[in-house]
Each structure stands twice: as C-alpha cells, then as structure tokens.
Amino acid sequence: QLQLVESGGGLVQPGGSLRLSCAASGFTLDRYSIGWFRQASGKEREGVSCISSSDGSTYYADSVKGRFTISRDNAKNTVYLQMNSLEPEDTAVYYCAADKMATMEAKWYRYWGQGTQVTVSS
C-alpha cells in the first residue's frame, strides 16, 4: 500500500527554521514527482513547492522563493522541505503528495500524506 507520512512540524518563532520530511512506504519515491502543499485555517490548499522525478527540477511559490528548499534523499526514500526565515503567514498544515507529474496544482496528485502542523508565532 502506497503511503506518505509527513513529520517535522511544530511551533517556531518568526525568523526560525523547520525541516519537514515526507517519508514514503510501499513505493519508490524517486519514481514520483513530489509536491508540498499547505492549507491555512479558512483558506484553500496552495502549492508551496514541487520536485520532478524526471530531472530533479524544482519549483516554488513566489511567497516562499528564497526561503524554502525542496530536496530528496533517494536512499532514505524521503523528500524534505527546508523552511527558513519563517513568517506568521507560513502557519498552516503542510502536506506532501506524490504523482507522476511535477505541478503546483493539488488536483493532479493522487497520493497524499496526513499533514503536519506548522505554527509560526512569538
């Protein structure tokens, strides 16, 4: 059974950092493109970043460009989202998702994790 499990969320002060992990089981992660999404309370889910399975290309939402970095460790079957210079506006539940195409649109992903909460507050 294909599963994704996110971890690494928590409470951090503005300007701080967190690293989220997306661990896969039941499939080989490097054969899939991975997207990170977030959903703040009362808002729609939005794409944050994604990484392509074909050539490792990465994409970022304008709101996180220069602050977030997506990467993959194929040996650990895990994708990471390093988040630096966090702002209160980054507070949300963060999800990872997998499918064949790298896109920032949630509708194209079939496989989803359960999410991890990130709260940026002083």
Other CB atoms within 10 Å distance of the CB of residue 13: 10
Q: Is the pLDDT of residue 69 over 90?
A: yes
- Residue 6: the pLDDT is 97
- Residue 30: the pLDDT is 86
Percent of the chain with pLDDT over 90: 91
- Provide the phi-psi class of 114: left if phi over 0, else alpha when psi is between -120 and 50, else beta: alpha
DSSP type of residue 32: S
pLDDT in tens, 8-61: 999 999 999 999 999 999 889 889 999 999 999 999 999 999 999 989 999 999
- Residue 90: the pLDDT is 98
pLDDT in tens, 108-118: 999 999 999 99
Q: Is 26 helix (H, G, I), strand (E, B) or coil?
A: coil
Q: Tell me the helix, strand and coil percentages in the chain, rounded to 5.
A: 10, 50, 40
The overall average pLDDT reported for the chain is 96
- pLDDT band for position 2 (cuts 50, 70, 90): confident
Q: Is the pLDDT of residue 78 over 90?
A: yes
